[in-house]
Amino acid sequence: MRTALWLLLLAAAFGVLVTANGAGYRYGVSDQAFYIPAIDLAQAPSLFPRDRVLLVPQARLTALDEALAWLGTTSGLPLESLFLLGYLLTATLFAAGVALIGDRLYVSRWSTAALLMALTLRHRIARTGVNTFESCFHPRVLTFAIGLLAVGLFLRGRRRVAVTLAALSCLVHPTTGAWFVIWMTVAAATQAWPSRAGRRLVIGAALMAAAAGIGVIASGALSERLAVMDAPWLAAFESRDYLFPSDDWKIGTWITHLLPSLVIILVWQWRRRLGLTSPHEHAVVLGCLALLLAFLASVPLVDARIALAVQLQTSRVLWQLELLATAYVVWTITEGPWSRISIARRGAVAATLLAVLSVARGYYILRVEHDHRLVAVHLPASDWQRMGDWMASNTAPHAHVLADPDHVWSYGSSLRVSARRDVMLEGVKDAAIAIYSRDSALRVTERRAAIGNFHALTEARAAALADTYALDYLLTEQSLRLPLVHTEGALKLYRLRPGG
């Protein structure tokens, strides 16, 4: 009971502090501009008749949207509640995974507490597209939390369970789960290799995997994924320069990203000389370092603009490497044999100092930088949200809307989320989806050019766009000589075609 209460307290502290350091929990932000419409579409197939060409190809790669749609329909809970529960589950599983890892790497529980407090200092992995935690429910972070559980179980000798759990995590977020599959598979192969039977098993599994890969390639199922991205495809997401390390990273960035691997190797060897490691830890370290090799091997493929290499965003594996390096740094500070101060006291001091730092940083980010509440379960009340609510209730499910392509930056949420309606172009999310499909990329580029300067839109230009793209409504702050349907503050909704 005492252990359970300790873990519960740590999980609660982690959840609160990591949320504060992420500027507070929010609904409908970030990649949820994709996930929420995908779930809405699974619940109500009549929605998004035009935008489903963007939503379906990516949504079918994961079972999460169907699962949440089923849960919402069965339980009657609104999506906001399901996402909050998902966020709480993510934080709890994340803390549990860290606790399992700390239980095998550390002697003192205070060291595990220090590691959790260090991980509350949420930040972006330099020059990549990943944060170490998201202040919203995100399948990528949930998958990472499940992966940490797999690592913790492996350290306890539960190899099969760990590999299975890593494989199952791919159902939530395939690319993040795939890195944990590689990590756990290499770790399991490392442990199995010394025995003759183990070598046969590893070689057999490798041959089967190679045969399956060749079969998939020969079938043509990956033909688009293995194509070279041409200039029109790349133009749709040209602002996402972090996808191309060789183009964007300076020498300092490369050093920053290679440093965690060096820390892992040095501290691991130090622990080996002290006789503190186990065969399970050896395997976990080698599996994690295999991720670095996979990333380095992918860089020439990314430079060649091979679609699959770009789409995998292989720099995200630096998240796993950074976490293990952080765990070893905490061990060095709290339990390394460099001080006569007791391990428990060093751990308690480190955990306390890190907690104070996290509280101060979280308060500054939450209240000074952004002036946010810690938790906002619903989309914030605003003219934009009220307009979205009105459109969701008073326009046809097939309605097609022209709005500012940059409306997410201007108003805080996607119109597909707030109004549940097709949008001609949502610049932020559509550009992200364009990475995964050339057709989507051409769609984004063509529509971006067609709209031009949205704020200089004229009645004639709006009518021409309506004819070309079958647009029903225009949402803008401009005063135009068009049929006015509804207003919210400065926002005006105009009808472009009858019957929308």
Angle between helix 279-303 and 139-155 (nearest 10):
140
Does residue 69 lie in a domain region?
Answer: no
Looking at 369, 395, 424, the residue that finishes a domain is 369
Does residue 61 lie in a domain region?
Answer: no
435 with 477, same domain: the answer is: yes
Does residue 404 lie in a domain region?
Answer: yes
Indicate the DSSP class of residue 25: B
Q: Which of 247-251, 353-357, 397-401 has the lowest mean pLDDT?
A: 247-251
Does residue 183 lie in a domain region?
Answer: yes
What local confidence, expressed as pLDDT, does residue 71 receive?
96
The string of DSSP codes covering 94-160 is HHHHHHHHHHHH-SSHHHHHHHHHHHTS--BPTTSS-BSS-SS--HHHHHHHHHHHHHHHHHTT-HH
Give how far Cα 21 sits from Cα of 16, 98, 324, 352, 366, Å: 9, 18, 21, 17, 7
Looking at 347, 369, 391, the residue that finishes a domain is 369
The β-bridge partners of 474 are 402, 494
Tens of pLDDT, residues 356-405? 999 999 999 999 999 999 999 999 999 999 999 999 999 999 999 999 99
124 with 257, same domain: the answer is: yes
State the residue range of the domain holding 429. Answer: 383-495
Q: H/E element holding 182? A: helix 174-192
With 80 as the cut, is the pLDDT of residue 499 above it?
no
464 with 357, same domain: the answer is: no
Q: Which of 31-45, 204-218, 357-371 has the lowest mean pLDDT?
A: 204-218
Percent helix / strand / coil, the chain, rounded to 5: 65, 5, 30
Give how far Cα 266 sits from Cα of 253, 279, 280, 329, 499, Å: 20, 17, 17, 10, 68
End-to-end CA distance of the chain: 60
Q: What is the mean pLDDT of residues 411-437?
A: 95
323 with 438, same domain: the answer is: no
Burial annotation 453-480 (CB, 10 A radius, 16+ → b, else e): ebeebeeeebeebbeebebbbbbbebee
What local confidence, expressed as pLDDT, does residue 82 receive?
97
Does residue 441 lie in a domain region?
Answer: yes
What's the pLDDT band for 500 if we cut at 50, 70, 90? low
175 with 248, same domain: the answer is: yes
Token pair 């740590």 is found at 10
How many beta carbons lie within 10 A of that of residue 396, not counting itself?
11
Does residue 392 lie in a domain region?
Answer: yes
341 with 401, same domain: the answer is: no
Q: What is the pTM of this model?
A: 0.96
Looking at 324, 344, 369, the residue that finishes a domain is 369
**Residue 271 in tokens:** 């622990």
3-state secondary structure of 228: strand
With 70 as the cut, is the pLDDT of residue 51 above it?
yes
Does residue 42 lie in a domain region?
Answer: no
Tell me how many domains the chain contains: 2
What local confidence, expressed as pLDDT, does residue 4 receive?
86
Does residue 150 lie in a domain region?
Answer: yes
230 with 134, same domain: the answer is: yes
332 with 219, same domain: the answer is: yes
